[in-house]
Structure 1
Amino acid sequence: EIVAKHLAEQGVTKDYATTLRHIIASNPTFFPGTYSLPLQISSDKAIELLTNPTNMQTNKVTIPEGWRVQDIIVRLSKVTGISASKFEKEAENLTQFDLPRAAPSLEGYLFPATYSFDKSLNAKSILRIMVNRMKQELERYGVAKKDWHRTLTFASIVQREARLTEDFYKVSRVFRNRLDINMALQSCATASYGVGEFSIIVTNRILNDDNPYNTYKYPGLPLGPIAAPGSLALDATLNPVDGSWLYFVTWNLKSGETIFSNTYAEHQAGIVKWDKWMAENPGWDE
């Protein structure tokens, strides 16, 4: 009745009674959303358009793996036309998302994927959809809620540090091995995040900065996630490959080739190779 009344009131169909009869007769499945329909069309045509989800008016947006909340909000605002300040305000109200108590922000809890958001949705609804999508992914992997924060924090580091698909599982193993022996993670990605940067070259200023994300200064995992981990990073976090590595260095930033080492001496040899590549490829340190 509500659909029939709305169609008639908006002038899409000629009259309420006829439209209602057609809806009752066909018993269609409607997809909630915003639709742009022509005026003065037949009841059957209106029903046909409303039962096809491809006719729904949506905002399509792709969020890449490894993005931070601030970058995600910028893209969401650009695509939806909703101001970034509205997204930021909703993001600050963590209680509405039912996150683990340890979560300091939405960082890491917005699942990176391609979404088609109904144009009627507001900032709060969009963020909740993305958070719920991450929760679904965690549940798909069988991660208990009490382990969500730790898992996402670990996975976000893997996401930012690994380059090639097969290396995600090796990077995960390196950090797992370090945690197992109480060795500092020494992740450049976490150190950079702690000072609000995405630096390829990590300076002494960054390494010595006193913040809860600096895994050079503080043992164990940082305060929380540093980016949005995707399915690959989550899978690698939960299923690391076997190995005894404690170090790795991505020596070729163009190809993503990475050297994994068991000893510091081996690691130093990898760094020498990285230094040589950087010298031969100026501009990558900017």
Structure 2
Amino acid sequence: MNARTREDARRTGRRVLISLLVALLLLGGLAGAGAYLWSHYGEQVSLAMGWTTNDYDDSDQGDEVSVTVRAGEIGSDISASLEEAGVVKTSDAFTELLLAQQPQVEFQPGIYTLRERMSSQAALDAMQDPANLRQLSATIPEGLTIEGTLERLSQGSGIPYEEFAAAAVDPTVFGLSEGVPSLEGWLFPATYEFQPEMTAHDIIALLVSHQVQVLDEFGVPEADRERVLTVASIVQREGRDDDFSKISQVIYKRLEIDMALGMDSTAQYGSGEHGSFWSSDEALSDDNPWNTYVHKGLPIGPISNPGRAAIDAALHPADTDWLYFVNAPGGNGALTFTTNEAEHEAAIQEYRDWCAATPDSGC
């Protein structure tokens, strides 16, 4: 092969190589373009062609999940929450279903118990079933301690108890004065409903504001509120509504003559024997600032969260000369009031005799 023939062969080889490279580049570009287009529009194409669906078919539902619906949220907000929680496959599918409903669907605020991978229709049906909706509320009975109250608030709101305990540390953040050492007594007992967006601080603030409102209604000056709540808290724990004003009178009468209050409820509170019927010797002798057997005067602060009736009694004691009271026979919560120690000891023995004769009474 002469030189010219070899040069022509090299040129031909270069042209073939260039052609192959161009072809490969074109194919690669098309593939890249195709990948780009599919990544952006593949789902819509698949839906349009019927190759896939944007909804689950309920054949493989998963674990229970909770979805919160807040006041003021609209359908698109709820659809997004359902998709984020893995309940529905796409928010679009649920939104389209909502738009097709006549009349328009309304959702109650609260926490819904649903399942992963539900069809939009199944999710909607579940959200219309009241059994799947947990209303955010708590009923706080009179006489609970702060710990018991926070536990109920945690159960009713779904917020961890630890968050309530942390929020309750500093009473001043709720507008109370520096002289208030604890929120004990300041959490007004009632039934409350909560919005899902409320925090532990928000909920505690709600209870405190109600207690302040009640004290304002009774005209209690700010400087007297802690004292009034302390008396009311003892009244609340020592008896039933019918005897509240009489218990209040005994407290003030003993304070007047510088006599130890000697209230079991305060001794139990200070020693941690909440809810006990008979006080232990340890509780009665424990040297803590709530023990009114050991220390004269009122305890250092409230021992429970009193209700309206107990506060009323603390402000309006009965007009009598009673100095003592003890449970009366019968087990109905009634009390026997007396004016001197001898009568009081006789009333105690009468009650002990009844307890011995009725061992199933619980006393």
- In structure 1, the partner of 2:99 is 40
Alpha carbons 1:201, 1:285 under 8 Å: kept: no
Q: Residues 195-234 of structure 1 correspond to what in structure 2 (within 5 A)? A: 195-198=271-274, 199-234=276-311
1:150 to 204, 227, 235: 227
Q: Residues 84-103 of structure 1 correspond to what in structure 2 (within 5 A)? A: 84-103=161-180
Residue 216 to residue 283, structure 1, CA distance change in 2 (3 Å): farther
Distance 2:282 2:78 in 1: 65
Give every structure 1 segment of 4 or more consecutive aligned residues whose post-TM-superposition deviation is greater than 6 Å: none
Quick one: which amino acid aligns to residue 187 of structure 1?
Answer: M
| Displacement of 1:202 | 1.3
Identical aligned pairs, as a percentage?
41
Matched, 1:105 2:182: yes
- In structure 1, the partner of 2:31 is none
Q: Residues 253-268 of structure 1 correspond to what in structure 2 (within 5 A)? A: 254-268=331-345
2:269 to 190, 193, 218: 193
Residue 82 to residue 184, structure 1, CA distance change in 2 (3 Å): same
Structure with max Cα Rg: 2
Residue 63 to residue 253, structure 1, CA distance change in 2 (3 Å): farther
Distance 2:196 2:139 in 1: 15
Alpha carbons 2:98, 2:104 under 8 Å: kept: no
- In structure 2, the partner of 1:62 is 139
Gaps of 5+ in 1: 13-37
Alpha carbons 1:11, 1:39 under 8 Å: kept: no
| Displacement of 1:117 | 1.1
Matched, 1:247 2:306: no
Quick one: which amino acid aligns to residue 192 of structure 1?
Answer: Q
Residue 10 to residue 144, structure 1, CA distance change in 2 (3 Å): same
Residue 262 to residue 149, structure 1, CA distance change in 2 (3 Å): same
Alpha carbons 1:68, 1:227 under 8 Å: kept: yes
- In structure 1, the partner of 2:243 is 167
| Displacement of 1:231 | 0.5
- In structure 1, the partner of 2:211 is 134
Quick one: which amino acid aligns to residue 151 of structure 1?
Answer: V
TM-score (norm 1): 0.80
Matched residue SS, 1:115: strand
Distance 2:266 2:361 in 1: 19
Distance 1:190 1:10 in 2: 51
Quick one: which amino acid aligns to residue 132 of structure 1?
Answer: S
Quick one: which amino acid aligns to residue 155 of structure 2?
Answer: K
Matched, 1:179 2:255: yes
Quick one: which amino acid aligns to residue 266 of structure 2?
Answer: T
Alpha carbons 1:100, 1:149 under 8 Å: kept: no
Matched residue SS, 1:207: helix
Alpha carbons 1:172, 1:236 under 8 Å: kept: yes
Residue 284 to residue 189, structure 1, CA distance change in 2 (3 Å): farther
| Displacement of 1:40 | 2.9
Deviations 1:42-73 (Å, cap 9, x if unpaired)?
9x968xx69xxxx5445121000000111111
Deviations 1:231-275 (Å, cap 9, x if unpaired)?
110011111111000000013372112110011011011000111
- Higher relative contact order structure (alpha carbons within 8 Å, sequence separation ≥ 6): 1
Alpha carbons 1:86, 1:123 under 8 Å: kept: yes
Alpha carbons 2:136, 2:196 under 8 Å: kept: yes
- In structure 1, the partner of 2:61 is none
Residue 176 to residue 11, structure 1, CA distance change in 2 (3 Å): closer
Matched residue SS, 1:192: helix
Gaps of 5+ in 2: 1-71, 80-96, 111-134
Matched residue SS, 2:167: helix
